[in-house]
Structure 1
Amino acid sequence: MALHNERDLQRRSAEALRDALSAYRIIDLSRELTQGIPTIPTHPKFFLLPFPAMTDPAEFNQLVMGDHSGTHVDVPAHFVPDPDDQRRVHTHEIPLTGLMGRAVKVSLGPYDPVSYNIGREDITEWEARNFAIERDDIVLLDTQWEHRWALIPEGYDYLRGWPGLTGEAAIYLRDKGVKAVGIDCISIDPGDKSGSDLRAHYELLPAGVLVMENLCNLAEVPQVSYFLALPLRLKGATGSPIRAISLVPKTIGRQ
């Protein structure tokens, strides 16, 4: 009888989740991975290569890419180089719940290609007009930059003067206890920063705040949604391509 009751509970739980999810539509926030996508100039490029096998009738391709190709997540090891530092967490070590939860879309811009530095005041002014970002939120920065995405060479425009967070803005979000911060640009830091000046990365990642870059379709996402993204289980990696989605009730119109 106990086993029967347990199976019945499992069935009803699965059906309840199925029915609940049927009330939501899925917004895909990830770019297609294809040859010619924009990348940071020093980063590996993406290639999908046909791989015919003489004795196998099945079709295969070989993937050549970086762990930060396309829409991806940065994990702490990306900016914590010391192997003895306990904060040096790799992709296979992050909890799956790190990219699951309530998402708050912060709409900013549009910006000219002048490497606009999104400051703490930009975030707090948005909160004053809307509502406060809370602990464990996932912050999606919609800077209206994503329309510049294109395959190279047209996609070079995506890599010129993009907006990003200042160190102070990153500290503000970090101290609020957010889980992750995503942006519709090639980097969370603005385009005029490099090396030790990549303060958004340095403030967020060592503190365990995950960073997502190259998000898209943020115009379709309401201010609050349920966000889900899963990285590949890459042992020793400093990031991973992700398939990021927002779940939005079907009764809510597009914004």
Structure 2
Amino acid sequence: MLPVGQRSHDHRAANLMARSMSAGFRAAEAIDLSRKLENGIPTYPTHPKFFKMCWCAMGDPARMNQFVLSEHTGTHIDAPSHFMPAGSPGADSIDALPLDRFMGPAIKMTFGPFAASNVRVGAKEIRDWEQANVAIEAGDIVLIDFRWGHRWGIGEAGQSFLDSWPGVSRDAAEYLAERRVKLVGTDCISLDPGDGGGGALAAHYTLLPQGILIMENACNLERLDVISYVMALPLRLGDATGSPVRAVGWNIKRRHGAPESG
């Protein structure tokens, strides 16, 4: 056991650190990047749908609901096991990943708007964006705003969200992997375009086996600065290939208050 004086010093240091972190978050603008989960939201065409049902409490005064959903419902993160054979090296499930994989400095890139034509943003476009804005660093979270989020809707109103959405090409995914990012996110239903990139699903097969996570169905990316801090924490689902997340981005307030573009 540490001497009382040492413990007191450690407590003071921890207190200062905690209050400094709290002040930092208070000085930033929090942006909710997560979709509301409700009946009728868009889901990937081959994935299970989302259902919310009022639960009959049978005399219990508490109100409650039952949910039926996929691991990949709403704003969610894909774990490496989503596209890797069970038991293969690196095929981590969502609960096996350390928490620091879901948070960190983030760079937001903006492309489009695009027509519903399965557009693939390539490595050249990303390099050009870096040249005009800021370079990606190892360990960054990269969020791509394809300006697709306005198509989200409930029921039939959300059908256009699922119509030939844009994504990244194989060489773009390879480039992001070379940059050693930790997570790549999109405002679309999948990081691969609507035709799967010709059916190859190259973004998933390139990034996930290298331990680079994928976040899909992010929203409000247009409100996020080019550089921000992002947390997207999953549920601790055992052996799951992904999880819905409550993703939040913090815009660091600048003295002159000029919004960034990107």
TM-score if structure 1 supplies the norm length? Answer: 0.95
Rounded Cα–Cα distance in structure 2 between residues aligned with 1:79 and 1:188: 13
Rounded Cα–Cα distance in structure 2 between residues aligned with 1:51 and 1:233: 23
Give yes or no for the alignment of 1:248 onto 2:256.
Answer: no
Consecutive unaligned residues of structure 2, counting only runs of 5 or more, are none
Give yes or no for the alignment of 1:122 onto 2:87.
Answer: no
Rounded Cα–Cα distance in structure 2 between residues aligned with 1:103 and 1:194: 25
Rounded Cα–Cα distance in structure 2 between residues aligned with 1:95 and 1:254: 33
How much has 1:16 moved relative to structure 2?
1.9
Give yes or no for the alignment of 1:163 onto 2:173.
Answer: no
Aligned partner of 1:5 among 4, 9, 15: 9
Find the counterpart in structure 2 of residue 150 from structure 1: 153
Find the counterpart in structure 1 of residue 34 from structure 2: 30
SS of equivalent residue, structure 1 residue 153: helix
How much has 1:19 moved relative to structure 2?
1.8
Rounded Cα–Cα distance in structure 1 between residues aligned with 2:14 and 2:243: 33
Indicate conservation of the 8 Å contact 1:221/1:254, yes or no.
no
Q: Deviations along 1:2-43, whole A, 9 cap, x unmatched?
A: 333332222222222222221111001110000000011211
Amino acid at match of 2:103: M
Indicate conservation of the 8 Å contact 1:220/1:254, yes or no.
no
How much has 1:134 moved relative to structure 2?
1.2
How much has 1:204 moved relative to structure 2?
0.4
Give yes or no for the alignment of 1:111 onto 2:90.
Answer: no
Indicate conservation of the 8 Å contact 2:95/2:236, yes or no.
yes
Give yes or no for the alignment of 1:56 onto 2:70.
Answer: no
RMSD: 1.4
Rounded Cα–Cα distance in structure 1 between residues aligned with 2:80 and 2:107: 22
How is 1:71-90 mapped onto 2 (pairs within 5 angstroms)? Answer: 71-81=75-85, 83-90=86-93
Aligned partner of 2:230 among 216, 227, 232: 227
Indicate conservation of the 8 Å contact 1:115/1:163, yes or no.
yes
Rounded Cα–Cα distance in structure 2 between residues aligned with 1:121 and 1:92: 35
Rounded Cα–Cα distance in structure 2 between residues aligned with 1:54 and 1:194: 50
Amino acid at match of 1:180: L
Indicate conservation of the 8 Å contact 2:120/2:197, yes or no.
no
TM-score if structure 2 supplies the norm length? Answer: 0.93
How is 1:173-188 mapped onto 2 (pairs within 5 angstroms)? Answer: 173-188=176-191
Amino acid at match of 1:29: L
Provide the identity percentage.
Answer: 45
Consecutive unaligned residues of structure 1, counting only runs of 5 or more, are none
How much has 1:194 moved relative to structure 2?
7.0
Give yes or no for the alignment of 1:17 onto 2:21.
Answer: yes
Rounded Cα–Cα distance in structure 2 between residues aligned with 1:109 and 1:30: 21
Q: Deviations along 1:95-146, whole A, 9 cap, x unmatched?
A: 1111211111111111000010111111111112122111111110011011
SS of equivalent residue, structure 1 residue 202: helix
Of stretches 112-121 and 1-10 in structure 1, the one that deviates more from structure 2 is 1-10
SS of equivalent residue, structure 1 residue 59: coil
Indicate conservation of the 8 Å contact 2:104/2:230, yes or no.
yes
Indicate conservation of the 8 Å contact 1:27/1:245, yes or no.
yes
